[in-house]
Structure 1
């Protein structure tokens, strides 16, 4: 929720500073891009820290970092300061996806997809809450207070971290068996259930958080395809957010070209504050993420992770092509609503699939590098959704539609389907054979329902 609030600020802060500080459009765009640069540069680092020193440690440091610079950015005196401070906020936000790694390692197989998707509901809640907070705060207290108040949920999380347990899977892998057993006993006590019979077997110690492990023969193809899928997700999701404002202001796609000719005659510093109608439109498009979660929740355990991602990309691509038609504002709103619901659903499916496909030793790094590739997509998308749009609306739509069609194909070509499997503990050859050989039994390989080596 805090992550979504810090991201949603970008669409509210940019037009406000454009007016208040008389910034040219390229400086306003840079304010958005610098956050994604920070996220992109730090995602792999936070994944590495989480694999080396623990999921809880990596998450706690990233949250405290984001909280500190989030509050500090509210006191920025000039543009250069806010640029640097929001970049540092982005650097901290890059570690927030590690909460999914920690969460996934506690969840039982049958409930994992459902629970991870339900935690993604709070992204939508955070986005909606930020818009409502802006409606209350911006007219009276201004953008500085909005930045400070938006960082407060992170303060609450930092306090609650004292009760947050470390992953038992991580503790076993790092050789801290006593701590893992203590965590499992705490879980048993809190659930009023007995500890399972048997003893906890210490996993073979492995080097953790090594980039080369993502490119072993068993994971190389998966890693490359996932990087493109995450790139396409963020590229299309944030692109649609930027395009929505442009389309609503024009009335429909066919009106944008003629409207551009009129705009070019104006001064580049022409200032327009966000109106109540703008906030309402922003709220409506954000609300589309709730049905997106529900649809994904319904299909992900029925048709599998790969097909869910492919379906989401295909529907987004189809809606993008329908925008070629000169539809009215109501039909335009419906198409944008459906497109955003499905692309956000695809994002959520990727968040379920990625922690499931990598072993414990590289799970956080795998998610971190995927998140980093998503930030590359988010960094590039303003140049398509805003700069290219000025040249050609239809070329812009073709780029987004084509990218998502390729991502749908990439989802189908992923070699591993994780539906109905336990989390993987080891990255050794036997495990890779077991997963690749889902359809055909490899000789000498013991198959396990729990997803761990026997």
Structure 2
């Protein structure tokens, strides 16, 4: 062990050198310290709590903007007589915007900074964009206009990978995983708030006012965004050591703590930040490919079970005793024509049917599953490393999704969906913990943003599975989601790097620069 420590000191590998009581690493001269040393020494205090709460409110705003699709389609169907493909295309439009925004803004953040992103888009903050197009979509004269405007809303919701990246970079190693996971509680709160808002607004004021009220939290976040400082890790990686020290001193004052004595030093400074090819170096190639698949599978399943829940409860939860096309159409008229009785041909017709009070209640109950689900995954994460925790969460979702095929009735349908959503809600947040930890500062936002962008491919496809395929075969639809998430569980175990307790890298080639 002593030989390993001595070797790490000689190589100047800060990740493997423990901190001393003064906030320095063994073997490191006491007249210098790194940003990792400073973040660990400052600890978790008032500054992190304020930043965390602001990011949490941002999560609420984004969750409301995204999860409105789960309650909006039936209202739009009654106004514009939409086909199932058109209803699915509304969800897809939001996710296309998210895919474009995730990639572009991830690259932008690594090159120009995290805070710059918030102050650039929309003139004041990313959430101004979200508020503006959220309200504007309420005035859509036609369905096609609504599609375009909701795509712009999706572009604005691409802020949440940057929120996670910014939050993670200010957190000490010990609190990092639990804090990022706990952000999902804010997402769950936003989802529940959206369902509750729909119950209050849709029957009285209609879907246009629901869109307006949904956009208001984005304006609140936009007003508060000026308080957010730039990431000290970005400043250090870009060679702006004085600005980084000023931010660290500000954190020290708010936390009533102090910086390690000496001068802030940087690891190797590079101007080549946010380079796409850096995601496919020998060290990260396998990690990047596996993460792309995991993100795609998990986001597809997370939104898929949410959309499928609405469809199932619209069909009164009874889909096993009748042909597959029954029970998945908004309102079914089952008709055996006399001319085709011998061939047992079945015709299924869709018409306007709004969600009932019981349906809203069940959707709200299953959405609440995200709260205990996140707490459960947090407990598992405290005991297990990142990779097996992801595997447990994803496998749990698969098991309870496959149990839907038992056709045990409406009560058990609610139970199975509740537990499945509990596992996938906590599990969907785990890639947000792992991905920023595994990539260095120079490509962290790009790595997270690119994973989020690639994941939108699965999310773009999932409305056509949960809202179109479901109308023809529940068995095939459930099998798709259960199988994909089971494969994601296996992929998480194949990830080559375990990040629990690991220092966050600055460049991927950790050489100390005096």
Aligned to 1:401: 482
The verdict on how the C-alpha distance between 1:392 and 1:273 changes in structure 2, with shifts beyond 3 A counting, is: closer
Task: Please state if 1:229 is matched with 2:288.
Answer: no
Q: Does 1:369 align with 2:450?
A: yes
Give the CA RMSD over aligned residues.
2.0
How far 1:250 moved relative to its partner?
Answer: 4.5
Residue 442 of structure 2 aligns to a residue in which SS?
coil
| TM alignment of 1:83-98, pairs within 5 A | 83-98=147-162
SS of the residue corresponding to residue 151 of structure 1 reads: helix
Match among 171, 181, 197 for residue 107 of structure 1: 171
- Residue 68 of structure 2 aligns to a residue whose secondary structure is helix
Extract unaligned runs of 5+ from structure 2.
1-59, 336-346
More displaced stretch, 86-95 vs 130-139:
130-139
- Given the superposition, is the C-alpha separation of residues 297 and 258 from structure 1 closer, same or farther in structure 2, using an over 3 Å criterion? closer
Secondary structure of the residue aligned to 2:253 is helix
Measured at CA, do residues 201 and 385 of structure 1 come closer, stay the same or move farther in structure 2, by a change above 3 Å? same
Give the Cα–Cα distance (whole angstroms) in 2 for the partners of residues 48 and 243 of structure 1: 33
Distance in 2 between residues matched to 1:230 and 1:336, nearest whole Å? 21
Normalised TM-score (structure 1): 0.91
Match of 1:210 among 275, 295, 305: 275
Shift of 1:96: 2.3
Map residues 271-350 of structure 1 onto 2, 5 A cutoff: 271-350=352-431
Identify the residue that residue 343 of structure 2 maps to in structure 1: none
Identify the residue that residue 320 of structure 2 maps to in structure 1.
254
Bigger mean CA offset, 53-62 vs 169-178: 53-62
1:220 to 2:220 alignment: no
Deviation at 1:388, TM superposition (A): 2.5
Structure 1 unmatched ranges of 5 or more: 432-445, 447-451
| Equivalent residue for 2:135, pick from 71, 74, 99 | 71
Alpha-carbon shift at residue 242 of structure 1 (Å)? 2.1
Q: Deviations over 1:354-387 (max 9, x none)?
A: 1101000000011101111221111111222233
Instruction: Report if the CA contact (8 A) 2:168-2:180 is conserved.
Output: yes
Match of 1:436 in 2: none
Match of 2:462 in 1: 381
How far apart, in 2, do the equivalents of 1:306 and 1:409 lie? Answer: 10
Query: How many Å apart are 1:273 and its aligned residue?
Result: 1.6
**2:46 match:** none
User: Is residue 270 of structure 1 aligned with residue 334 of structure 2?
Assistant: no
- Please say if residues 42 and 91 of structure 1, whose CA atoms lie closer than 8 Å, have aligned partners that are also in contact: yes
Shift of 1:264: 6.4
Are the counterparts in 2 of residues 47 and 95 from structure 1 also a CA contact under 8 Å? Answer: no
CA contact (8 A) 2:325 2:471 kept: no
Is residue 67 of structure 2 the alignment partner of residue 8 of structure 1?
yes
Distance 1:365 1:264 in 2: 51
Number of aligned positions between the proteins: 433
- Cα distance in 2 between the residues matched to 1:257 and 1:250: 15
Match of 1:150 among 194, 214, 233: 214
Q: Using the alignment, how far apart are the partners of 1:167 and 1:133 within structure 2? A: 35
Q: State how far apart, in whole Å, the 1-side matches of 2:469 and 2:333 are.
A: 15
Q: In structure 2, what is the equivalent of residue 442 of structure 1? A: none
Rounded Cα–Cα distance in structure 2 between residues aligned with 1:234 and 1:255: 31
SS of alignment partner, residue 260 of structure 1 = coil
Pick one of 85, 95, 108 that aligns with 1:49.
108
- d(CA) in 2 for partners of 1:23 and 1:396? 21
**TM-score (norm. length: structure 2):** 0.81
Tell me how far 1:271 sits from its aligned partner. 0.5
SS in 2 for 1:218: coil
Secondary structure of the 2:248 match is helix
